[in-house]
C-alpha cells in the first residue's frame, strides 16, 4: 500500500513508520510515498528528507480561504496516489474535500483514550481531569474531530509526578504515551495494509 503521512511537529510517529519499513521491507505491506505538513521547518519534514522521501507543505496562511487550503491539501496528497493517509501529529482539521477523497482510508493517532479528551490538548486535559489511566487511540478520521471509528487503543498509567512535571512544562506523560502510540500506529497501519479491512458504522474489522 502507498502511504502519505501528514505531520506538524517532531515526527517521531513518522520516524517509527520509516524505521519499521526499513527493517521489514516489502513484508510490512506499505511504503511511504510522501510526507506532507501544514508548516515548514518542522523536524518531521527533516526526518522525511533524511529518509529520502518526497515532501510537500500546505500552509493555511497561503490560501485565501480554509476551503482553498483543504482543496490544495487534497490535491497535493492525491498527486502521490495514496492507498492510505496517516495523520501522525498533524494538527489541522481537514475539510469536506479531503474527507470526500480519503474518508475510509485516512487514519489518525490521538494521545488519549477517545471519546475521552478529544482535540488538541488530550494529554493536558486527561491530567487536569484527574484520570488515573489515559493512553492513545488510532482511528479512522470522519467529518468530526477525533470522532471516527476506533481501530485500536493503548493504555498508559498516569503517575502522581506527571502533574508536577506537566505544570513545569515537562511532558513525561506524553512521552510515555508516545512510546505506546508509535508501536500501536506502526502495527495498525501494517495490518490494515497487509490484510485489508471493513468499516461498518463504528465497527472496524481487519480481515
| 91 annotated to a ligand binding site | yes
* 133-140/150-157 β-pairing: antiparallel
Q: Which of 16, 6, 120 is nearest to 57 (CA)?
A: 6
Where does the chain have alpha helices with state H?
A: 12-24, 43-50, 66-78, 96-102, 122-129, 160-167, 172-195
> By Cβ distance, which residue is nearest to ligand GRF?
89
- Residue 171 marked in a binding site: no
- x/- contact string, 173-192, with ligand GRF (CB under 6 A)? -----x--x-----------
The three-state secondary structure class of 86 is: strand
Stretch that binds ligand GRF, among 70-78, 106-114, 147-155, 189-197 (CB under 6 A): 106-114
* 153 touching ligand GRF, by CB under 6 A: no
Please work out the total of residues on this chain that contact ligand GRF, with binding judged by CB under 6 A. 14
Catalytic residues: 110
- Cα(17)–Cα(156) distance, rounded to whole angstroms? 21
Print the binding letters for residues 111-140 with ligand GRF: x by CB under 6 A, - otherwise: x-----------------------------
Distance CA 207, CA 200 (A): 13
Smallest distance, ligand GRF to C-beta of residue 69, A: 19
Binding segment (CB under 6 A) for ligand GRF, from list 73-81, 104-112, 141-149, 186-194: 104-112
| CA atoms of 194 and 1, how far apart (whole Å) | 8
Residue 89 as a binder of ligand GRF (CB under 6 A): the answer is yes
For residue 85, which of 192, 182, 178, 9 has the smallest C-alpha distance?
A: 192
Question: How far is the C-alpha of 80 from the C-alpha of 109, rounded, in Å?
Answer: 21
CA dist 91 → 55, 145, 155, 201 (Å): 17, 11, 22, 25
Q: Per-residue x/- marks for ligand GRF, 38-77, CB under 6 A?
A: ------x---------------------------------
Catalog residues that contact ligand GRF under the rule CB under 6 A.
Answer: 7, 9-13, 44, 88-89, 109-111, 178, 181
Q: Residues within the annotated binding site for (6R)-10-formyltetrahydrofolate?
A: 66, 91-94, 108
Q: Residues within the annotated binding site?
A: 11-13, 66, 91-94, 108
Amino acid at each position: 500500500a502507498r502511504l502519505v503521512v501528514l505531520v506538524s511537529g517532531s515526527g517521531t510517529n513518522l520516524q517509527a513508520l520509516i524505521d519499521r519499513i526499513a527493517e521489514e521491507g516489502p513484508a510490512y505491506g506499505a511504503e511511504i510515498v510522501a510526507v506532507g505538513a501544514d508548516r515548514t521547518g518542522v523536524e518531521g519534514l527533516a526526518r522525511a528528507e533524511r529518509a529520502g522521501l518526497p515532501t510537500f507543505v500546505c500552509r493555511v496562511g497561503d490560501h485565501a480561504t480554509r476551503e482553498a487550503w483543504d482543496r490544495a491539501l487534497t490535491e497535493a496528497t492525491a498527486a502521490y496516489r495514496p492507498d492510505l493517509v496517516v495523520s501522525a501529529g498533524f494538527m489541522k482539521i481537514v475539510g469536506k474535500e479531503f474527507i470526500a477523497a480519503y474518508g475510509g482510508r485516512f487514519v489518525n493517532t490521538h494521545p488519549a483514550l477517545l471519546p475521552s479528551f478529544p482535540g488538541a490538548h488530550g494529554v493536558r486535559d486527561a491530567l487536569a481531569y484527574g484520570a488515573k489511566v489515559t493512553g492513545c487511540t488510532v482511528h479512522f478520521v470522519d467529518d468530526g474531530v477525533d470522532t471516527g471509528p476506533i481501530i485500536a487503543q493503548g493504555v498508559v498509567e498516569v503517575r502522581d509526578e506527571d502533574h508536577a512535571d506537566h505544570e513545569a512544562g515537562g511532558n513525561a506523560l506524553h512521552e510515555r504515551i508516545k512510546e505506546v502510540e508509535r508501536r500501536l500506529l506502526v502495527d495498525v497501519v501494517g495490518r490494515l495494509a497487509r490484510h485489508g479491512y471493513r468499516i461498518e458504522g463504528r465497527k472496524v474489522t481487519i480481515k
